[in-house]
Structures are given as structure tokens and as C-alpha cells.
Amino acid sequence: MRPNVACLLALGILQALAGAAAVTIYHQKNNPSATATASSAAASYTGAAAYNPTVLQPPPVPSPLNTQFVVQLQNGGTPGASIQQSGSFFGFSIEMSVANQVLGKNSTHIQVPFLNLMANLQQRSGRINIRVGGNTQEAAVLVDSTPDGRILEKDIAGASNPTQTPPLVFTPDLLYMMRNISNFVNVRWFLGVPFNDTSNFRLAIAEQGQAILGDYLIGLQAGNEPDLYARHGHRPSTYGPYDYVGEFGNLVNAMSNDANAKNRNLLIGPNIAYADWTTEMVWNTGFVDQFSNNLAYLAVENYPTDNCAAQFNTGGTIHNPQDVFPTFLDHNAGKGIIEKFRNSTDFAQQKGKKLLMFETNTASCGGFPGVSDSFGAALWGIDYALQMAHSNFSGALMHIGPTVYKCTASLSTPTNQSSFHQWTIGPLYYSALAVAETLGFSNTSQIMDLNANGGDVHTPAYAVYENGNPVRVGIVNFVTDPSGASDLQVQIAVGGSGIGQPNQSPSQVKVKYLLAPSVSQKGNYTWAGQTFGGIFQSDGRPMGTENVTTVPCDSTTNLCTVRVPAPSYALVFLSDDALAQSDGKAAPSTTFSTSMFTNTRNTATVDPSVLATSNGGFDKSRMGSTSPGSSSSGAGRTRAVLGQGVVSVFAAVVAGWVLVGRVR
């Protein structure tokens, strides 16, 4: 299926940070196909992938399921806990070709919903790590300007790869836009040096990236999935790890000869997909010792499932979403992905390096309808990220990319702000919030998979430690059971309840829940009572009042019994300090609000007329919920940023929609 150039990129609402690997959505709000009823079958659906109405059946309740178990924690150190982790562990990867839709149109038109989403995370973790790159970085060219003034242009006719990667040109304004974002929220960026021609490197992105982003540039990827180069025809069939290492050396040399590319010590490799090479094959070349000074991070990329066959007719296996759904809904899902990297996280530690999962998601090439956009994906994302943290990865970036879809009509570009597009917040954004709070912002937390409930894969639990002492416990219940019979009663004890050690259990604990009635549900999940709503309902601010549940502990048994509904994620704070270390209440807040107000209460609607006329300024102040009556709600204040022409609106009317591009 060849995408039609004329109907390229409409615009997107992106299902921001959604569960699908390739979730850029180009969509018209009034497109009937996108509001099709939930009963439509996936097979007959022709609308935007992220709004595919498919709702799957949750897997049956496992039998037997033990619903009551003890989690016994120790103070004073626990062998097997992870390396020290940061609350910004869970970050994002944005395919370069869609950066101008996810982040903003240009340096003076930044997406306010995006800023708000990042601000929510910053409040919890202090910073957010985002990579702009992917396959589209490989042949990208930095140009002074484009004919129509856009910061990115794709040449779809020149697409290569099974995944239709379009070559692209971009202007420095893309980098200025990123820099402007970092002026508002503490986003740190990864970029990639094009690797399509390693005898003639185009180093402009390294030069300009450094000049414009400064300290906000934290890494430069050298090659994206080089183990697939031969398979995709970008290198001879003999291309192997030593060839990659040689090319990496060429890059270091080229940068050494370039006075403006001083960031040759920010490089990231080998970024393999673990498809045609193993990581061990690369380590065995001596790569890390040879380039230790240049390697800021080590990285790999991996997806649990390849959905490219359905998307691109690659001839591979086409998976039925209903069949794969259960494979995402247990503890083996995340574990299974990273088992193959266990040696590599050990290896990284030995070499004093951090290993990143640089690009991942539920499935490559667009995810699965009903899976990637379901509550189940949120639970999967939490368990997977926490499993990576437990396994000594140092960060994981969930990928947001484009995908080719059917083109039904032509594109009309955004002309005014009257059709402000609300965003749809995907399940993995909720995972990001929950993981940020689970790890906290100390940078010193350690996490451990507790192998809880006799190792039952439906009920994994993790403990998080500070200075060797447990501070938080995270429990996932993957089961869907509206009867309540599969709700867990998890009995947490600290010290040595029942085994002859002094009790150190708290007198009470606090709990935040990530909730939805079913793993199949799409949208309207709640994290501690707050939600980003359903389709087109969010401007990136949480709606509703925060609800933190207090659970008293039994002073006789010293057990704190926490209910974990089926399904849900429960984050248990063993002290108020542990809560304060997580949700930003004690953190220096660098988030922002505006002088702008809307007429609505408790909705995330930005009044377009206000946006159109406001020239309000930018100011930094405390961020809060949008609930009426909450301390910072400001009667529906909209935290949009309107100073200096930084307008937020993603206003576009597209007569139809199309998705374009690639995803691995």
C-alpha cells in the first residue's frame, strides 16, 4: 500500500503518548468513521487507527486465583534490589517525522496539551527524557528553510523500508521548538546523527543540537537498529557488528574533526533491535571499552510484538488482537521482553554505563486495536517499566510514531484557532504517571520484583526502597472481574511480622489507584481519582479531585491490608514522606499556569475565542488540578501558554485523515 503524497499528514491529534507503537493520529474530529460505535468490528473499520472502536473481551478469571497474600518487607537493605533509579525512568520516543505534530508546529506554536502532560510528569519526577528520532532520523537533512515554511517535510515518494520510512528535511526551528519547550518544562532531549551515509556524515544535527539545546541535549544516537540495516537493504548483506563498530569509529573521528561537534562524548550505541544480532555480539567486539569515553549511554530497542504485517503487508504473521490481548496481561509479558537483556544490564554495570530501552511499545507498526489503546496496556506498561527498572535498565522510552493508513481525502492545513482539537490521552501516559510516582524523585530509589503471591503472573508486586528501607509498594492486578471476587487483599508488613523480628509496620498507609472497570476499557481511566477523560477530552491537565485512600494497619497483626481491585494498579505509600517524595507536593515546582481563563469549570476545554484573542503572558506558578474548589483550580484556569506567540492551539480541519510514515 503506497501512501498518497497528496493526502500526507493531516494533522493530528495524537493520541498522545498512546499505547500503540505508532500512534500518530491524523484525524478530523467530525469524521464519522472515528466516532463509529463500539460494536463495529475491527475488520470493517476504516478510520484512524487510534480511534478504532474495537473493544476486546478481557481474558477469563484465572482459576485458581489466590486473592490474599502477605508482602513481607525488611528494613536495612534487601539483596537483589536494583541499581538506583530516577523518577524520570519512563520517558518517550517521538518519531522525528511527527515531532511537528506532537510537540508543536514550530518554535512559536507549541502544543499546550503537550506542555501540560509534561508538566504533570515534571511535578512528579523533576524531568522528562524524550528522544526525537527513529528510522526517520537516518536520512534526515538539516536545511535552512523549507519552501512552505514548515519545520519538517517528508518525501513520501522516496519512502524506503518495509515500514515506508520517508526521508525528511527539517529546519533549525525544530531544535528551537525543543529548546522553547525546555524553557517551560524540564524536558531533556536525545537526538540521532543520520547514519545512512557513514563515509560522509551530516553532523549538522550534532552541531546545531548542541548550540541550541545546550545542557538539554543529553545524548546523540549513533545508528538506529543497525542490525536491521542489511535486512532493509541499507547495507550489504554481510554487514555485521564489527562493521557497525567501525562506522561508530568513523563518526567519532568525524566529530573530532568538527570544532562545532564537541558533543562526541554524548553518543549512544548500539541501539540494535535484537532482531538480526544479539547484544552480546556487539559487546563481544570490544565496542564499549573502545569507545567508553564517547558513550554517554548504551541502548537497545525492542517491541514484544511485530504488527507490521497487518500494517504494511510484509508477508509476516498477521495477529488477531483478541488472541494477543491475554499475552499482554500478565507478568510474563514485560519479563519476557527483557529476559534477553539480562546479561546486558550486568555488562553495563560492569562497564559503568547505563543501559536504556530506547524505543518500545506494545507492538511495532501501530499497535493492536483494542490492546494498545486499552486499560490493559496501562497495566502492561507499568509492569513492563517496573520490570525494566528492577532488571537494571536505566530508562525506557515509549515510542510515538506514525503509521501508514488509508488515505481518504485531501488535507487542509490549520488556518485558524476556531477548531481547537482536544487530545486523547492514551493508556501509557497513565503508566508514565504511575511509574514516576512509584520510583519517586530522589534519584536514589531501588526497586525489586517481589515475586509475590507465589509468583502468580496475574498479581505482580514490587517494593521500592530508599537507603535500604521500603517506602512504597506497587501491586498490579491484571484480572478483570466485576464481581469483586478477584480483588486482592494484600497484607503488607515491614520488619518481621510473625517471624520473630521487631515489627516496624506503619500505623497506616496511603494508597493511590489506577482504575478502570475492565482491562478492555478505552479511556476514562483514573489515577488517584483524576482522569484525562475519553476521546478528544483532554488538554493535558488532570480532571477531578485527587483521591488518596488511607488504610489503617492492624496493630495486633502488624499487617496493612490493601485491597487491589480486579483490575487495577495500587501504589502503596508506607509513610507520608514516601508520598511527598512522589507526587510533587514537596518538590520544587517549576510548572506553570497562565493568565488565561475559560468559562468552563472542571472540563479541559480551552475556549478558542480566548485563545484567539489573548496575548496573555507566561508565568510560573504552582500547578494543580482542575477541580473546582481545589486549592489551585483557579475556577477552570487553563494552563495554556500564550506569551510571545507561543500559542497552544492545534487547530486543524482535515477533510478525512491519513496516517503516514513508518514505525520500525
- Residues of this chain that interact with ligand NAG (CB under 6 A) are 80, 82-83, 86, 105-109, 126, 139, 141, 167, 173, 176, 180, 183, 196-197, 278, 280, 340, 342-343, 345, 349, 390-392, 415-416, 418, 441-443, 513, 522-524, 529, 533-534, 547, 549, 643-644, 646, 653
The three-state secondary structure class of 613 is helix
Where do we find the cell 546479561? 343
**360: exposed, middle or buried (C-beta count within 10 Å: 0-12, 13-18, 19+)?**
buried
Q: Which grid coordinates are listed for 245?
A: 563498530
Least spacing, CB of residue 88 vs ligand NAG, in Å: 8
Residue with smaller CB distance to ligand NAG, 60 or 149: 149
Q: Which grid coordinates are listed for 130?
A: 524524550
Residue with smaller CB distance to ligand NAG, 14 or 55: 55
Beta strands in 263-392 (DSSP E): 267-272, 295-301, 355-360
Least spacing, CB of residue 376 vs ligand NAG, in Å: 14
d(CA 192, CA 223): 7
Residue with smaller CB distance to ligand NAG, 392 or 593: 392
Residue with smaller CB distance to ligand NAG, 19 or 167: 167
Residue with smaller CB distance to ligand NAG, 323 or 346: 346
Least spacing, CB of residue 341 vs ligand NAG, in Å: 8
Residue with smaller CB distance to ligand NAG, 292 or 415: 415
| Residue 551: φ, ψ to 5° | -120, 115
Fill in the amino acid letter for 140: A
Residue among 546, 533, 636 at smallest CA distance from 594: 636
Q: Which grid coordinates are listed for 459?
A: 498479581
Least spacing, CB of residue 79 vs ligand NAG, in Å: 7
Q: What angle do CA 519, 98, 207 make, to 5 degrees?
A: 130
Residue with smaller CB distance to ligand NAG, 497 or 565: 565
d(CA 510, CA 169): 50
Least spacing, CB of residue 649 vs ligand NAG, in Å: 10
**Beta-sheet pairing, 109-110 with 104-106:** antiparallel
Residue among 271, 284, 303 at smallest CA distance from 343: 284
Q: What angle do CA 100, 212, 393 make, to 5 degrees?
A: 75
DSSP letter at 389 equals H
Least spacing, CB of residue 534 vs ligand NAG, in Å: 3
The three-state secondary structure class of 174 is helix
Q: Which grid coordinates are listed for 280?
A: 552480546
Q: Which grid coordinates are listed for 490?
A: 494484600
Q: CB 342: neighbour CB atoms within 10 A?
A: 11
Residue with smaller CB distance to ligand NAG, 361 or 627: 627
Least spacing, CB of residue 63 vs ligand NAG, in Å: 26
The closest residue (CB) to ligand NAG is 534
Residue with smaller CB distance to ligand NAG, 642 or 659: 642
Least spacing, CB of residue 441 vs ligand NAG, in Å: 6
Residue with smaller CB distance to ligand NAG, 459 or 520: 520
d(CA 58, CA 236): 45
Residue among 376, 459, 518 at smallest CA distance from 62: 459
Least spacing, CB of residue 125 vs ligand NAG, in Å: 9
